[in-house]
């Protein structure tokens, strides 16, 4: 990647971003972007009253300018999809999880390859989970206004301050990316970041669109008997389907707290259901009979398809070993000057301990890849030596 990206030039260009409001213009620019080593991407969307994000803007920066693609006007995204598929054009994002989700929903396609400046910042020891404004200030000593964070991105025309805010969200990404890549390469960490971003892409598609395993997130319900776990499973799966069909947030159908209260109190009629904490009268009127139906058929459901148990919390006996393993990881992170949360996540340790089989442990998938040599093997060796 030899082409230099000048952030001052892009900062100036952000004051007058180029609007792309028709298919022909988008195709022309995509053809131009196909020749570049990288582009920066960001999105603005609304997701307050809907299950799915409603796109309001796609921002792109190249080597000379900032562009605002209007999803309210564009109909043919095929040229952008082709650009997303081009392996020679690096797509740079910051904290790109939600942007990737939006692209997959809008276009049925994910940009590849990607570089996430938030992930890279963690590897470089700049800070863990850094927001864009903080990262720009840290790396470039530029302070950005946060005033439009909660704007209505579906209104037209967008205000001048909205347009500037949106354009600046991509103006600094190219140079941040290039600086981070240079430092990552000097420290032998670029491949580590590439593995992390590849995992991010892999995890973006919804692995449970029907919500059949959603109930396992309710760790506090692990003691419930099979009949009640089956009811929780069936209710959460129903909520997932209905939320998508109606395109409303999950809590508009049924809040998590209400779900748990239902399976604990087990109401048998609408009057009892209405007394459940955190359930609205309208929800009882609209879906009350359906909800009660899942309770009535729970025993049959549990017998026909026994629910997988909800993982119970680790025993207190692991408290001391966990502290020792975490201390090892912190020490290694300090040695490498990377964020400890990047090197070892709580869920990784939890997964490692749960691999126990007759006193033997093995590395879970989350501690494979670059983590295996850096910390995984050492954690495994230490864990095997502990007497728990």
CATH code where residue 320 lies: 1.10.150.80
Q: Domain end: 203, 237, 267, which one?
A: 203
Closest CA to 263 of 211, 302, 298: 298
Q: Domain end: 258, 273, 304, which one?
A: 304
2 domain-assigned: no
Here the tokens at position 133 are 């404004």
Shared domain check, 152 and 82:
yes
What is the domain count for the chain?
3
Shared domain check, 132 and 76:
yes
Closest CA to 115 of 26, 65, 175, 164: 175
Q: Domain end: 148, 176, 203, which one?
A: 203
Could you tell me which residues are beta bridge partners of residue 91?
39, 114
Shared domain check, 153 and 59:
yes
135-176 confidence digits (pLDDT tens): 999 999 999 987 777 789 999 999 999 999 999 999 999 999
Shared domain check, 163 and 14:
yes
208 domain-assigned: no
Q: pTM of the prediction?
A: 0.94
Round to whole Å and give the CA distance between 105 and 54.
Answer: 10
Shared domain check, 54 and 14:
yes
Closest CA to 382 of 310, 313, 331: 331
- pLDDT-derived band of residue 237, with 50, 70 and 90 as boundaries? very high
309 domain-assigned: no
Fill in the DSSP letter of residue 45: E
Fill in the DSSP letter of residue 66: E
Shared domain check, 69 and 129:
yes
268 domain-assigned: yes
310 domain-assigned: no
Shared domain check, 139 and 219:
no
Tally of CA atoms within 13 A in the half-sphere of 307 that contains its CB: 30
**Does the pLDDT value for residue 2 go beyond 60?**
no
pLDDT at 171: 98
Triad 157, 174, 7: Cα angle to 5°: 75
Computed over every residue of the chain, the mean pLDDT equals 95
Range of the domain at 370: 316-385
Reported for 328-331, long-range contacts at CB under 8 A and 24+ positions apart, including other chains, are 328/375, 328/378, 328/379, 328/382, 329/375, 329/379
311 domain-assigned: no
292-340 confidence digits (pLDDT tens): 999 999 999 999 999 999 999 999 999 999 999 999 999 999 999 999 9
Question: φ and ψ at 5, to 5 degrees?
Answer: -115, 125
């Amino acid at each position: 990647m030899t082409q230099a990206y000048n952030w001052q030039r892009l900062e100036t260009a952000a004051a007058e971003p180029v609007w792309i409001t028709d298919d022909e213009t988008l195709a022309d620019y995509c053809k131009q972007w196909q020749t570049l080593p990288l582009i920066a991407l960001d999105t603005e969307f609304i997701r307050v009253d809907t299950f799915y994000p409603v796109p309001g803007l796609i921002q792109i920066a190249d080597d000379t300018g900032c562009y605002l693609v209007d999803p309210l006007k564009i109909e043919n995204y095929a040229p952008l999809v082709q650009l997303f598929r081009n392996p020679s054009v690096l797509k740079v994002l910051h904290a790109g999880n939600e942007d990737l989700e939006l692209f997959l929903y809008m276009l049925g396609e994910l940009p590849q390859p990607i570089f996430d400046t938030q992930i890279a910042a963690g590897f470089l020891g700049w800070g863990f989970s850094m927001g864009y404004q903080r990262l720009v200030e840290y790396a470039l000593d530029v302070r950005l206004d946060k005033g439009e964070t909660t704007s209505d991105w579906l209104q037209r025309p967008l205000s001048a301050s909205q347009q500037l805010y949106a354009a600046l969200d991509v103006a600094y990404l190219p140079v941040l990316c290039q600086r981070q890549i240079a430092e990552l390469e000097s420290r032998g960490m670029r491949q580590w970041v590439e593995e992390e971003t590849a995992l991010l892409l892999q995890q973006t598609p919804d692995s449970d669109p029907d919500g059949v395993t959603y109930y396992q997130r309710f760790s506090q319900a692990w003691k419930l008997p099979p009949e009640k776990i089956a009811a929780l499973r069936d209710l959460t799966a129903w909520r997932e389907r209905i939320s998508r069909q109606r395109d409303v947030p999950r809590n508009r159908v049924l809040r998590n707290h209400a779900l748990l209260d239902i399976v604990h109190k087990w109401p048998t009629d609408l009057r009892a259901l209405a007394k459940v904490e955190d359930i609205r009268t309208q929800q009882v009127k609209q879906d009350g009979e359906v909800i009660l139906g899942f309770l009535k058929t729970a025993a049959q459901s549990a017998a026909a398809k026994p629910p997988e148990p909800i993982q119970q919390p680790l025993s207190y006996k692991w408290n001391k070993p966990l502290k020792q393993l975490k201390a090892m990881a912190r020490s290694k992170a300090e040695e490498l000057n990377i964020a400890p949360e990047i090197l070892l996540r709580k869920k990784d340790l939890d997964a490692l301990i749960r691999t126990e089989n007759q006193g033997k442990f093995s590395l879970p998938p989350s501690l494979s890849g670059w983590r295996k040599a850096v910390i995984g093997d050492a954690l495994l060796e230490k864990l095997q030596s502990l007497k728990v």
